[in-house]
Amino acid sequence: MIGRYGVTLKRLIVPAVAGGMLLLAPVASTGQEGGAEAVQPSHAIAMHGEPALPPIFQHFPYADPRAPKGGQIVYGVQGTFDSLNPFVIQGLPALGVSGNVVESLMARSYDEPFTLYGLIAESIRVPKDRSWVEFRIDDRAQFSDGRSITAEDVVFSWQLLKNKGRPNHRLYYSKVAKAEALDQKTVRFDLAGAEDRELPLILGMMPILAKHVTDPETFEAGGWEPLLGSGPYVIDEVRRGESLTLTRNPRYWAADHAATRGHNNFDKIRYDYYRDANTLFEAFKRGLVDLRIETEPGRWMSGYDFPGVRDGKVVMEELETGTPKGMNGFVFNTRRPLFSDVRVREALGLLFDFEWMNANLFGGAYSRTSSYFEGSELTASGRPASPAENALLTPFEGVVRDDILAGTWRPSVSDGSGRDRRALARALNLFAEAGWAPSNGALRRDGKRFAFEIMVRTKDQERVALAYAKSLERAGIMASVRLIDALQFERRLAEREFDMTVYFWLSSLSPGNEQSLYWSSAAADQPGSRNYAGVDEPAADAMIAAILGAETRENLVTATRALDRVLLSGFYTVPLYHAPKQWLARWSRIDHPIRNSLFGPIFETWWHKEPAP
C-alpha cells in the first residue's frame, strides 16, 4: 500500500488471535513518514503511559465472559425526549442510541484513567508528538444492515459532526487539519498545529455513521429517523416521549470481540420515561423499572421499606468508585449584571447553610464539595500550590486568591442552626463592598432590590433551592424558585435564559477537551456548550491549554490543580455536596460482575438472571 507521502506501508494480517481480536503484526517500515520516525501500529492508546492490557487479551477485567445472554432490562428516566439523534443540539435526545446503536472507532477501558482499545479500528498508529493519527478498520466491522465499514464512512462521520454535530464535536474535530482515506480500510488525520495531545483519543471515540443512508441535509434537524450504526443493538420500538426499546442485533459483528466480551447481555433494553421523580420511584417499587441509582439520601435511608426489599427481591448496594466526585452546585449566570461581581457571588455562597440542610433534609448523609475534582489527586483543595503550579499561574497574578493558592480555602461552615450570624455578617460586608446595603428589610443598590430566579428541573432540586432561598431572605434577598419541564429546561440552558440553576459537571480522572466546553472563553457564548456560568477568564484558558498539552501524568495533575484554583477563585458556583458512595438498588433478577470498574458500575456488563426454581 502506498501511503500519504509515497512511502510503502507494510502490514501483515494475522487472522487467528485469541480474544476475538484481529490485530496487526507490524513489519518494520523503512524511511520517514510525514517528517517523523516510522511508527508501528498498536492495539491501544493511553493518554499517558502505556495501556494496561497486552495486545492479546480475553476481556476487560470488570466484565464476566460467562455472563448469560437473554432477557431484558428496563431503565427508568425522568423527563421526556423528542429526538433519536444524540449527536446534534436540536431537540432532547432519547438515551441509549450512543454506544448501543452507534459505536465508536475504539472502546474505552473503564479500569484506566483514559485508554482506548481497538474496536471498529483494529489498530492505531500515532507518532510521539501526536501530530497525526491513523486508524486501520477491522475487516469484519459492518453496520447493522450488513454493509462493511470503510475509511470513507469514517471521513464522512468526521466531516458531518464537525459541521453539524454538537458543540463538543465541532470544537474537537475542527482541530483536524486534514482527513483522508489512504485506502478502503485506512484513514489518517493530520493534527498539525492542534497542540492537543488528547486529540488522537478523541478521534478514537468518534461515533461512526453510515454514509450510504445518512442525509447531511436533514441530520442537524434531529427528529425521529433512526440512525444506522454498527452497535450491538438496533432501535425496535419508539413511543414518542415515553419509551425507547432496543433489540440485540443477531448479526452484530463484534459479538465475540475482546472489547465486548461479557457486554451487551440483554436481548432487549427499554428506557421508560416518567414526568416526575415520585412516579419514577413508585414504578421501581412495583418492579416496572429494574434498577435505580439513588441520589436522595433521605429516600435511601427511609424510603426503601417496601415489600420488594423486605422479601429480598430488591438488592440495595453501596458501591465504591475511583473517579472524582464532580461539581454539583448552584450555577451563577455571570452574563447577568447581578452576578458579574465576584464579591457578590462569594457572598451568596456564604449564605448556603450546608450543615443545617445536611442535618435536616439529608440525615447527615452528604459531604460538602470543595473542589471541581473532589476526592482525587486532581483536587487543589487542602494542597498548597506546587512550584510547577505557581509557574503556570504566575502570568495571571491576582486571579487566584491567596487562601486558595495555599489550599486552605473551604466553603463556609455554619453552626447548623440555620441562622448563623457570622456567615451573614461576612456576606453583608462583601455585599457592601459591591455597593449593596440593607434598606427596609431588603438588600438594595441604587434603589433596586436584589432579586433573582433559581431554575430547577426536579422536585429534589426544588426542595434544596427553596431551603436556600429561605436562607437568603435573612440578607434581604428575594430568590424565587421555578420548576420547569425537561424540554424547557434544556432549551433555557442552551440559550442561557436563566439567572441561577442547578447543574452537575462530571469529572474525569483524565481531564481534557471537555474542560474547554465547560470553562473556556470560546464556549462562554456558544449555544449548547456547558459553560453555563459564562466563565471568560484568560487564566482558565491557559490552564486548559496546559492540560491538553500535558505529556506526562504529573504535568496533567499540575495543570488540573491549577485550573481548580482558578475556578474556585472565580466563585462561579455555590458548591453543594456529594455522596461518599454510589447508592444503587436493583431487582434481584438483574445481576452484575463481582468486580467493579474504576469508574463504578458498567451497566453494559450486567445481565438478566433467571429466577430460582
Q: Residue 10 pLDDT > 50, yes or no?
A: no
> What pTM did the predictor assign?
0.83
Cα angle, residue 272 at apex, residues 268 and 273 outer, rounded to 5°: 155
Question: Which part of the chain is CATH 3.10.105.10?
Answer: 327-578
Higher pLDDT, 123 or 25: 123
Range 598-605 average pLDDT:
95
Residue 284's SS3 state is: helix
The reported pLDDT for the residue numbered 8 is 25
Distance CA 546, CA 155 (A): 29
Cell of 113: 484513567
The reported pLDDT for the residue numbered 6 is 28
Range 424-452 average pLDDT:
96
The reported pLDDT for the residue numbered 37 is 56
DSSP state at residue 199: H
Higher pLDDT, 125 or 31: 125
The reported pLDDT for the residue numbered 16 is 28
Q: What percent of the chain has pLDDT over 90?
A: 84
Q: Model confidence over 123-178: pLDDT tens digits?
A: 999 999 999 999 999 999 999 999 999 999 999 999 999 999 999 999 999 999 99
The dihedrals phi and psi of 586, each to the nearest 5 degrees, come to: -145, 145
Question: Which part of the chain is CATH 3.40.190.10?
Answer: 43-321+581-613
The reported pLDDT for the residue numbered 297 is 84
**pLDDT level of residue 311 (50, 70, 90 thresholds):** very high
Distance CA 447, CA 451 (A): 12
Query: What is 241-265 written as a DSSP string?
Result: TTEEEEEE-TT-TTTT-TTTTT---
**pLDDT level of residue 13 (50, 70, 90 thresholds):** very low
Range 426-453 average pLDDT:
96
Cα angle, residue 125 at apex, residues 122 and 126 outer, rounded to 5°: 140
Q: Residue 378 pLDDT > 90, yes or no?
A: yes
Pair 121, 23: CB distance under 8 Å: no
* Residue 502 C-alpha from the chain's centroid: 16
Label the pairing between strands 268-274 and 243-248: antiparallel
Which has the closest alpha carbon to 235: 160, 144, 165, 104? 144
Q: Which CATH number fits domain 327-578: 3.10.105.10, 3.30.710.10, 3.40.50.300, 3.30.1300.10?
A: 3.10.105.10
Across the chain, what does the average pLDDT equal?
91
Distance CA 528, CA 492 (A): 10
The reported pLDDT for the residue numbered 611 is 58
Q: What percent of the chain has pLDDT over 70?
A: 93
Q: Residue 59 pLDDT > 80, yes or no?
A: yes
**pLDDT level of residue 418 (50, 70, 90 thresholds):** confident
Q: Model confidence over 242-293: pLDDT tens digits?
A: 999 999 999 999 999 999 999 999 999 999 999 888 999 999 999 999 999 9
Q: CATH topology for 43-321+581-613?
A: D-Maltodextrin-Binding Protein; domain 2 (3.40.190)
